[in-house]
Structure 1
Amino acid sequence: MVISQSIEINGYIKSKKNIENIHVINKTAKIFTVTNNKGEFKIYGSINDTLTFTSIQHKPKSIVLDKNIISSKTCEVNLEELINELDEVTVGKILTGDLYSDINNTDGDPPINFYDVGIPGYTGKIATQSERRLSEAGEFKPKMLLGLLTGGIPLNPILNGISGRTKELKQHVRMERKADLLRTIKVNLFEDFFSIHELDESLHADFFYFCEDDPDFYTRCNGTSDIEVFEFLKEKLKQYKQNLNTKDD
């Protein structure tokens, strides 16, 4: 009876690479989780359930929960490092495909940056075109009207506010950020999500646009864990399928 029931498995990943945030999926029970910074994970499973492990730094691996794992409630998994080597080519110097070796083997001086000449420079995130335009346009605030008394009122924020250009630029920035976030989600979760949640392949793109249109999409998915994003996608998939059934009716 114990073996036939779904129990919580305590697992641990072993690898030479980073073992945090590895996706662990019970494909049989359709459950998803990720490892912590020690490579540990907890997931429910029953005998003969299939667990899959995926990561951009490791080769995918699948195991079947046997009697020993279920009885001990523990699971240790060794993941093999995924090495993306370039084909050997000859361009002046011989390149091996090992980036560190090739850099040391190349001639030429590195480009000069602002540190070399002793001047301050910006090292933060590079702004997008829409973000730069929004910054240049400025934002109108009521306290700017006090500048009328001193003759130092900034005109750009007022003119852009009146014309609606500032509002339009803010909308462009929001759209860019949502599109970038959606691309990141597709890269990180696309294959794993649809490996346990069925949806016709022709509807995949439409489903993700449906998620992006949700008013809470950016708040729910930006800066959150893969598990939280996965749960959001599950909620949206349920709504999406309900909408499809309504249209069919």
Structure 2
Amino acid sequence: MIRIKCFLLFLIIVFSSEILAQTKDVNGKIIADGDLDRIHVINKTASKFTITNSLGEFTIPAKINDTLVISGVQYVPKEILITDIIMQTKAVTINLEENINVLDEVVVGKVLTGSLMTDIENSDAKREMNFYDLGIPGYTGPKKTQTERRLYEAQTGGGIVPLNPLLNWISGRTKQLKTQIAREELAIAIEEAKAKYSKLIFEDDMYSEIMQNEYFLFCGDDPTFKDIYDLGNDMITLQFLKDKLEAFKLHLEND
């Protein structure tokens, strides 16, 4: 009986830990009297961020006990703790107050300004440790593309001396497939970064769609772009893209 009780207690602890560790998309709604577009929502626990649409709506990944920081130029900054109820409903409504500052007011500590990069720095957001940091090989489980399947077939074979991998290596087919896969993965990363970060990157810089495409291709030419993007950390990726934008401007001036 004691063993059964201990086993049940163990299952409860494990189950509770899994629930706490689950990350889900939380849909939010900002309620305020002013402009609701482009209000910054930062998950400082998970190093994720997003911005609201014109209706004040947003979606951000979170788990229980994560802290959201909501920041807009015209509003008083607000922090929201993700509770069990929020995770169950996958929804949260946040009321913001208009920011009416008195001149010469003394402010102690870090201030949220409504500028995304400044607010990220002031929110104490830290990147979560992942298997890359620990040097542990990890697999996220995506389905193989056609090229990846071809590479797998080219590198596998039976027998004491597997001829298929050897012949493909000698002919250069294996190397060609690896190069093609790298190009495909880079193209996907560039398109995903463009879709996710364009509004934030070009918030203060008016570039045509053609020039924006040129900028992201310019970023893709950097050998570190893919590695940084694969980390899945919005803060690090955004800082990299901001730095590349300055380099892109210099590139245009030199041309």
TM (norm. structure 1) is 0.51
SS at structure 2 position matched to 1:39: strand
| Inter-CA distance 190–62: structure 2 relative to 1 (3 Å threshold) | farther
- Taking the aligned partners of 2:223 and 2:181, their CA distance within structure 1 comes to 15
Report how far residue 133 of structure 1 moved: 0.7
**Higher strand content, 1 or 2:** 1
**Cα offsets for 1:160-214 (capped at 9, x unmatched):** 1111111110011111111221222122211121113444443111111111111
| Inter-CA distance 202–124: structure 2 relative to 1 (3 Å threshold) | closer
Partner of 1:40: 69
Q: Which amino acid aligns with 1:235?
A: D
- Taking the aligned partners of 2:96 and 2:245, their CA distance within structure 1 comes to 25
Report how far residue 223 of structure 1 moved: 2.1
- Taking the aligned partners of 1:230 and 1:215, their CA distance within structure 2 comes to 16
Partner of 1:231: 239
Out of 159, 168, 175, the residue aligned to residue 167 of structure 1 is 175
1:221 aligns with 2:229: yes
Q: Which amino acid aligns with 2:50?
A: H
- Taking the aligned partners of 2:92 and 2:215, their CA distance within structure 1 comes to 28
1:139–1:158 CA contact under 8 A, matched in 2: no
Partner of 1:209: 217
Partner of 2:142: 125
Q: Which amino acid aligns with 1:67?
A: N
Partner of 2:152: 135
Query: How many correspondences in the alignment?
Result: 162
- Taking the aligned partners of 1:19 and 1:152, their CA distance within structure 2 comes to 56
Partner of 2:119: none
Q: Which residues in structure 2 correspond to 1:41-56 (within 5 Å)?
A: none
2:49–2:234 CA contact under 8 A, matched in 1: no
Partner of 2:17: none
- Taking the aligned partners of 1:178 and 1:160, their CA distance within structure 2 comes to 24
| Inter-CA distance 39–48: structure 2 relative to 1 (3 Å threshold) | closer
Out of 36, 49, 54, the residue aligned to residue 22 of structure 1 is 49
Report how far residue 227 of structure 1 moved: 1.3
Partner of 1:181: 189
Q: Which amino acid aligns with 2:242?
A: K
Report how far residue 238 of structure 1 moved: 1.4
1:211–1:233 CA contact under 8 A, matched in 2: yes
Gaps of 5+ in 1: 1-13, 26-33, 52-56, 76-122, 141-146
Which entry has the higher C-alpha Rg, 1 or 2? 1
Gaps of 5+ in 2: 1-26, 31-40, 53-59, 78-90, 113-139
| Inter-CA distance 199–64: structure 2 relative to 1 (3 Å threshold) | farther
1:192 aligns with 2:200: yes
2:75–2:98 CA contact under 8 A, matched in 1: yes
Report how far residue 130 of structure 1 moved: 1.0
1:139–1:161 CA contact under 8 A, matched in 2: no
Report how far residue 65 of structure 1 moved: 4.5
CA RMSD of aligned residues (A): 4.6
Q: Which amino acid aligns with 2:184?
A: E
Partner of 2:101: 67
Q: Which amino acid aligns with 1:38?
A: T
| Inter-CA distance 225–215: structure 2 relative to 1 (3 Å threshold) | same
Report how far residue 239 of structure 1 moved: 1.4
Q: Which amino acid aligns with 1:231?
A: Q
Q: Which amino acid aligns with 1:175?
A: R
- Taking the aligned partners of 2:148 and 2:217, their CA distance within structure 1 comes to 23
- Taking the aligned partners of 2:252 and 2:145, their CA distance within structure 1 comes to 36
- Taking the aligned partners of 1:168 and 1:63, their CA distance within structure 2 comes to 58
Partner of 1:245: 253
- Taking the aligned partners of 1:62 and 1:210, their CA distance within structure 2 comes to 39
